[in-house]
Amino acid sequence: MLAAAATYDATVAGFRWAIPEAYNIATSTCDRWAAKEPDRVALVDEDDQARPWTFGELLGSANRIANVLKAKGVAPGDRVAILLPQSADVAIGHLAIYKLAAVAVPLAVLFGVEALAYRLKDSGAKVLITDQAGAERVASIRDDLPDLKAVFSVAGPAESADDLWALADEASDWFVTAATGPDTPALMIYTSGTTGPPKGALHGHRVLLGHLPGVQISHDFLPQPDDRMWTPADWAWAGGLLNVLLPALHFGIPVIGQATEKFDPERAYRLMADHGVRNTFIPPTALKMLRTVTDPRGRFDLRLRTIGSGGESLGRETFEWGREALGLSINEFYGQTECNLVLSSCAALGISKAGAIGRTVPGHQVAVIDNSGTQVAPGTPGQIAIKAPDPVMFLEYWNNPPATEAKFIGDWLTTGDQGVMDEEGFVSFFGRDDDVITSAGYRIGPGEIEDCLIGHPAVAIAAVVGKPDPLRTEIVKAFIVPAPGVTPDDALSEDIQSYVRTRLAAHEYPREIEYRGSLPLTTTGKIIRRALREAE
């Protein structure tokens, strides 16, 4: 637990890691709560008639599933994939896998067949837990997955899939959680880089402990009385799983689960009001969608205490909107699948600055470095890096030693993200290495331009990329989703260009604008700039 102090410096000085020699995620997120408060609400499944699940119920169900998996031959170290939307089944599946000392491989429900085939084959997953729709998709590629011995469906029998809950009903609800250590492999999340196929970032059980200071800081010293968490982010990626689901269970805070394929701002506000959500992690793109709803506090009975955001740049405009429209300072944070939640804002400590990610989370060592691994002076652009060892840091890339080695410069884990650290220690995100635009000798980060663009009343969402140009190397091109009711034309484009030129700089305004009904997004809600660049 991170102890709150009067200042950021005092909070940092008072924190020390206490990583036990024996540690299992299932024990800290379920077993211990079930032992002392079995009737405490752990999770509310919105899509199952808002059914509340207690820690006692989670424990009994996880034990039954663990026994089913064990009977199917799952042993310590085996990979078990989960292909499900937000639901109690996801939480129960993870707990069962950790109890077995197996390795959970979460997969996003929006993945296509090729993406699923690659991850299942590369991980050597022995078992897949999914629903009927997932079972049907995987059935078409089953012959190409020799390691996959069983597919279980949580929604009754399906094509080439056994009924998981029918088998669980016949299994014992008693299971002794395996003895594991902090470095015992527990979780593998696939992350896509700028080149090559996705890589499996393998984490030990300590990854949850490593996240806790960042979760507490970004939610103004969670847990507080009546705290209740929700995120629209898929629990199959680090933001949903390790920033919300597992930390909420660890702290004994109820977490709301709701399956959704497309973010709906009206529905999001309604859910937060209906369930009394106090703490939420909402990625910047989703926050920008929430901005399109007028008078949210007047229309919805919101009881929000904290909003955390990360995954891409939040921007000054969205930060200021949070204060005005929601009455909260959005706590922006930063990390990667390989090493998450290492920088954060914290309004409770006064660590909150528009346009900045925040400062180093207690327990971590973050710097901006050059290509040789040397820390650069304050105000100098460079690459954001984290010093090893660190409890939140990944163990390795699965079966990929060269990629693991390339991730480090000496003791520094490199992120591939460009940033600047000021004299106070605030870090501002500049852009991914591959997102930075080179135009007429200038290096331009897309985040600042996108932030400026959404300040224009006719712009709902915007993405900026570099388009090849024979004269300038690249020009700035903007892809814009117009605000509701706006019909784009040449006059609007000229007005938007002037708007950016006068607020930023002549070399940063978009020389080309393309209007779209939507922008390509990852399953985590980030804009896929790579797809836009490739289209150019």
For 273-282, how does the pLDDT look when each residue is reduced to its tens digit (9 = 90+)? 999 999 999 9
Question: pLDDT category, 348, cuts 50, 70, 90?
Answer: very high
For 141-154, how does the pLDDT look when each residue is reduced to its tens digit (9 = 90+)? 999 999 999 999 99
CATH code of 445's domain? 3.30.300.30
CB 296 within 8 A of CB 277: no
Domain boundary residue, one of 204, 221, 241? 204
Q: Is the pLDDT of residue 314 over 90?
A: no
**Confidence (pLDDT) at 196:** 61
CB 462 within 8 A of CB 453: yes
CA distance readout (Å), 220 to 133, 197, 223: 39, 37, 9
From CA 127, how far away is CA 152, in angstroms rounded?
Answer: 8
Radius of gyration of the chain (CA): 23
Backbone dihedral angles phi then psi of residue 120, each to the nearest 5 degrees: -65, -40
CA distance readout (Å), 342 to 184, 327, 391: 22, 26, 11
From CA 106, how far away is CA 418, in angstroms rounded?
Answer: 28
**Confidence (pLDDT) at 315:** 82
Is residue 487 one of the residues assigned to a domain? yes
Query: Checking DSSP bridges between strand 382-387 and strand 339-344, what pairing results, if any?
Result: unpaired
CATH code of 93's domain? 3.40.50.12780
Q: Mean pLDDT, to the nearest integer, of 301-328?
A: 92
Q: Is the pLDDT of residue 319 over 50?
A: yes
For 353-373, how does the pLDDT look when each residue is reduced to its tens digit (9 = 90+)? 888 899 999 999 999 999 999
Strands ordered across the beta sheet of 339-344: 51-54, 41-45, 255-257, 229-230, 279-281, 306-309, 331-336, 339-344, 359-360
Is residue 242 one of the residues assigned to a domain? no
**Confidence (pLDDT) at 147:** 97
For 197-256, how does the pLDDT look when each residue is reduced to its tens digit (9 = 90+)? 789 999 999 999 999 999 999 999 999 999 999 999 999 989 999 999 999 999 999 999
Is residue 320 one of the residues assigned to a domain? no
Task: Please report where in the chains the tokens 């410069």 appear, as a residue.
Answer: 409
Which helix (H) or strand (E) element contains residue 104? strand 103-107
Residue 446 in tokens: 């897309």
Q: Which residues pair with 309 in a beta bridge?
A: 332
Alpha helices in 237-280 (DSSP H): 238-240, 246-251, 265-274
Q: Mean pLDDT, to the nearest integer, of 165-181?
A: 98
CB 400 within 8 A of CB 199: yes
Q: Is the pLDDT of residue 434 over 90?
A: no
Closest CA to 342 of 370, 378, 371, 366: 366
Q: Which residues pair with 425 in a beta bridge?
A: none
Which helix (H) or strand (E) element contains residue 217? helix 206-218
Question: Residue 59 corresponds to which amino acid?
Answer: L
Is residue 3 one of the residues assigned to a domain? no
Alpha helices in 314-391 (DSSP H): 316-321
CB 376 within 8 A of CB 382: yes
**DSSP strands (E only) in 361-486:** 366-369, 382-387, 396-397, 408-409, 412-421, 427-432, 437-439, 442-444, 459-469, 473-482
Is residue 403 one of the residues assigned to a domain? no
Three-state DSSP state, 497 = helix
Is residue 245 one of the residues assigned to a domain? no
Residue 63 in tokens: 């034990």
Percentage of residues in the chain having pLDDT higher than 70: 96
Task: Please report where in the chains the tokens 């847990």 appear, as a residue.
Answer: 223
The pTM assigned to this predicted structure is 0.85
Which helix (H) or strand (E) element contains residue 307? strand 306-309
Domain count for the chain: 2
CA distance readout (Å), 258 to 234, 244, 279, 451: 9, 13, 15, 29
Three-state DSSP state, 90 = helix
Closest CA to 330 of 297, 359, 313, 352: 352
Question: Residue 286 corresponds to which amino acid?
Answer: A
Range of the domain at 143: 17-40+52-204
Is residue 390 one of the residues assigned to a domain? no
Three-state DSSP state, 250 = helix
CB 241 within 8 A of CB 235: yes
**Confidence (pLDDT) at 501:** 85
Q: For the ranges 10-19, 189-198, 323-332, 413-422, which has the lowest average pLDDT?
A: 189-198
Is residue 301 one of the residues assigned to a domain? no
Domain boundary residue, one of 204, 230, 255? 204
The pLDDT mean for the chain works out to 92
Domain boundary residue, one of 204, 236, 252? 204
CB 227 within 8 A of CB 363: no
CA distance readout (Å), 58 to 9, 32, 94, 196, 233: 39, 12, 11, 39, 22
Q: Which residues pair with 475 in a beta bridge?
A: 467
Vertex 464: Cα angle to 462 and 466 (nearest 5): 165
CB 399 within 8 A of CB 122: yes
**Confidence (pLDDT) at 431:** 67
For 403-413, how does the pLDDT look when each residue is reduced to its tens digit (9 = 90+)? 999 999 999 99
Residue 433 in tokens: 């290495």
**Confidence (pLDDT) at 194:** 47
Vertex 234: Cα angle to 461 and 141 (nearest 5): 110
Question: pLDDT category, 193, cuts 50, 70, 90?
Answer: low
Neighbours of 66 (CB within 10 A): 30
From CA 338, how far away is CA 384, in angstroms rounded?
Answer: 13
For 102-143, how does the pLDDT look when each residue is reduced to its tens digit (9 = 90+)? 999 999 888 888 889 989 999 999 999 999 999 999 999 999
